Amino acid sequence: MNNQRSPRRPTLPKWLKFFLTIIAAAIIALFFVEILNDPGMSNTLQQILALLAFLVCVIWFAFGSSWDRRTRLKGTVAIVSAVALFFTFFRLASVTGALLPTFEPRFGGSSWRGLEAPQSGTRAVDLETTSDYDFGGFLGTNRDLKVPGIRLDIERLGEPPELLWRQPIGAGLGGFAVVNGYASTLEQREDGEWATLYEVDTGKIAWATKIDSETFASVVASDGPRSTPIIDDGRVYVMGNSGRLVALDGSTGKQVWERNLREEASFSIEQERSLLGYGRPNSPFVHADLLLAPVGGADGAFVSLAAFNKNSGETVWQGGSNQISGSSPNVATLRGVQQALIVNEGFVNGYDLTDGRELWAIPWPGRTNADTSSSQVVPIAPDRVFVSRGYGHGAGLYQLSSREGGTFSATPVWESSRVLRTKFSNVTVHEGHLYGLSEGVLECVDLETGERVWKHGRYGHGQMLQVDTLLVVLSEEGEVFFIEATPNRRDNVLGHFQAIEGQTWNNFAIAGDRLVVRNGREAAVYRLPII
């Protein structure tokens, strides 16, 4: 009788042990090391490696483990069934700014698909009357993140502010422009893109105008239009996600004029979606009688920026030959010359405000359909500009110097890939320091040296405004924080409250004591405590 036991098959082959060890080590390393200073890339690689490790383990269990055949079959079927069951009832809804997936019930539907076309109200609207408390467009009337004319009551910031209203809204990543008690935004409903005007104190729609039948949906980039309207001289100017630049009568919402920038540049909607994969987050800007807006293009025929007569819509000038980015134009006087500032694909540029002639250029890597630049150029009078971006790039301060022909050279004062990696957000300048969300963490940087003073507080890829000496931060989760803007104390939170629910990349507005906030699902208005 042979009592010798047959040798057991190895439970784990050497090659598989080595492979899984490498994957585990890589995942652990990526948790502590940001690849190329980019947490989003680090998270993506972690997820790929984790999925690969999971698949290898399942394959090993099914075909290489020492369990009997029946057990291996049952176990494999159970694993596959569990995964299939999860994706039967849940779907990938979106990804966060750090490229982490979020899921939602599959049968719930996206919020904008559940909202019918808005109905206009009957009340007379006055957008011609203005005040010092208005918030006329993207990042404020002066496009500098600063809220003029008010001071918040620090003693009452620890208490939740009064909620005036909170209600569903169509999808979109833009914010509100607020003038004379009315707030305008762009939103996507069942049948297209709409420009809407709300009564700030009630949430009632004053008027609604459909500007495009095209809709935009993206798991990575979110749904709906992305830009913020600008209100000027009683009119509302909007940029749709497919390149429709429209002027609306502020009292009625009726169209005054329209330019279809995509069609005029002779490229198709398919080219638009391919070249501008994240849509058009570019918010137009009004200066005197000019309306500035990025144009774009295809097949190398690019127009970086154009100026239109705000009253008639006629083209005044076109400047630049680079593809547009996710940034929006601004106007500043630098070295005594009024100029339009914008970040394009591959460059930061300044253009003469009278004729669109390029005055200066700073190489600034970034691909519009991949790692696009979304942050603003910040003018630092009298002769400097600051610029920042995410995706591991960082920030820089540049000195403009005059040269022959009336143009300028731009030389770096400092450049750093370590600070102010502003992916979707922007920075504010206060008393010689820069404040911004660097890959979701609040950071204070010395303006002159580029040295980090402090970095603390994880708010995700949210947005920020400055009110007097305070920073108001809207987190990616829809929570509002009031933070002291000082280099002496890091991330000193004086109060916070949950304003809205869900992923919030949208900019917000503060007009007087009204906080006007939205994301792709809901909007709300709060009364802030002011002195």
The string of pLDDT tens digits covering residues 320-329 is: 999 999 999 9
* Residue of higher predicted confidence among 365 and 109: 365
Dihedral angle sign, alpha carbons of residues 98, 465, 523, 236: negative
| Neighbouring residues of 244: CB distance < 8 A, sequence distance ≥ 6 | 211, 212, 238, 258, 259, 260, 261, 262
In a domain, 408, yes or no: yes
pLDDT digits (tens, 9 = 90+) for 120-145: 776 789 999 999 999 999 999 999 99
Dihedral angle sign, alpha carbons of residues 437, 463, 511, 134: positive
Name the DSSP letter for residue 131.
Answer: -
In a domain, 351, yes or no: yes
Residue 6 has pLDDT above 60, yes or no: no
Residue 35 has pLDDT above 80, yes or no: no
Query: How far is CA 12 from each of CA 16, 23, 62, 66, 502, rounded to the nearest angstrom?
Result: 6, 15, 12, 9, 44
- Looking at 56, 91, 126, which one is the last position of a domain? 91
Quote the CA–CA distance of 50 and 470 in Å, as a whole number: 41
Same domain for 168 and 39: no
Q: Are 446 and 433 in contact (CB under 8 A)?
A: yes
Quote the CA–CA distance of 159 and 494 in Å, as a whole number: 10
Same domain for 214 and 70: no
Same domain for 143 and 75: no
Quote the CA–CA distance of 427 and 394 in Å, as a whole number: 12
In a domain, 130, yes or no: no
Please report the pLDDT score of residue 479 as a whole number: 98
Q: Are 259 and 275 in contact (CB under 8 A)?
A: no
pLDDT digits (tens, 9 = 90+) for 264-313: 988 888 888 888 989 999 999 999 999 999 999 998 899 999 999 999 99
Please report the pLDDT score of residue 1 as a whole number: 46
Please report the pLDDT score of residue 108 as a whole number: 62
Quote the CA–CA distance of 528 and 253 in Å, as a whole number: 29
Range of the domain at 71: 14-91
Quote the CA–CA distance of 388 and 455 in Å, as a whole number: 16
Same domain for 215 and 329: yes
- Looking at 67, 91, 115, which one is the last position of a domain? 91
Same domain for 165 and 66: no
Domains contained in the chain, number = 2
Same domain for 150 and 218: yes
Please report the pLDDT score of residue 18 as a whole number: 66
In a domain, 106, yes or no: no
In a domain, 464, yes or no: yes
